[in-house]
């Protein structure tokens, strides 16, 4: 099982340099997860970095979710607690991982679901997110 962070979704959708490697990792898992927050963050990232309109970014993200069989997982009280813990341990201004809000919730969703986390960058490698999955 794998949870897809917005950074990975953006990279794959935009055809960034590491898109194929990320897609290969995604393809190794039958159960694929994301959240409404990671989908929203992907929309915002596509608009900011790739000049998508909000409408076209939202449609592209929904197509990506559908084509890759991603299941949206809920965010509730447990995820809030884990995201808060992630911020306390690994948050921006507190740790070199410098997790932002979206990162903290991706961390929490991966932990809650016992999933690996698919991401781009060096932030999550400085946490324990993939140690338990």
Query: Domain span at residue 31?
Result: 2-121
The tally of domains found in the chain comes to 1
Question: Can you give the chain as a three-state secondary structure string?
Answer: CEEECHHHHHHHHHCCCCHHHHHHHHHCCCCEEEEHHHHHHHHHHHHHHHCCCHHHHHHHHHHHHHHCCEEEECCCHHHHHHHHHHHHHHECCCCCCCECHHHHHHHHHHHHHCCEEECCCCCHHHCCCCCCC
- From the list 86, 107, 94, the residue with the least C-alpha distance to 37 is 107
Tens of pLDDT, residues 75-127: 999 999 999 999 999 987 887 787 999 999 999 999 999 999 999 988 898 89
**In the predicted structure, residue 132 carries a pLDDT above the cut 60:** no
Q: What is the pLDDT of residue 131?
A: 52
What distance in Å separates the CA atoms of residue 70 and residue 110, rounded to the nearest whole number? 13
**In the predicted structure, residue 133 carries a pLDDT above the cut 50:** no
Residue 130 belongs to some domain of the structure: no
Q: What is the pLDDT of residue 103?
A: 95
Query: What are the residues whose beta carbons fall under 8 Å from the beta carbon of 23, sequence distance 6 or more?
Result: 12
Residue 133 belongs to some domain of the structure: no
Residue 44 belongs to some domain of the structure: yes
Residue 73 belongs to some domain of the structure: yes
- Which domain CATH number covers 42? 3.40.50.1010
Residue 14 belongs to some domain of the structure: yes
């Amino acid at each position: 099982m794998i949870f897809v962070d917005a950074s990975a979704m953006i990279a794959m959708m935009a055809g960034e340099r590491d898109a194929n490697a990320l897609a290969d990792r995604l393809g190794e898992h039958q159960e694929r997860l994301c959240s409404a927050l990671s989908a929203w963050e992907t929309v915002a990232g596509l608009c900011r970095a790739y000049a998508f309109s909000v409408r076209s970014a939202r449609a592209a993200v929904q197509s990506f979710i559908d084509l890759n069989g991603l299941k949206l997982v809920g965010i509730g009280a447990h995820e809030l607690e884990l995201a808060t813990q992630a911020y306390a341990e690994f948050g921006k201004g507190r740790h070199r991982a410098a997790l932002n809000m979206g990162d903290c919730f991706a961390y929490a969703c991966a932990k809650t679901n016992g999933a690996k986390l698919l991401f781009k960058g060096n932030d999550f490698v400085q946490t324990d997110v993939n140690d338990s999955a």
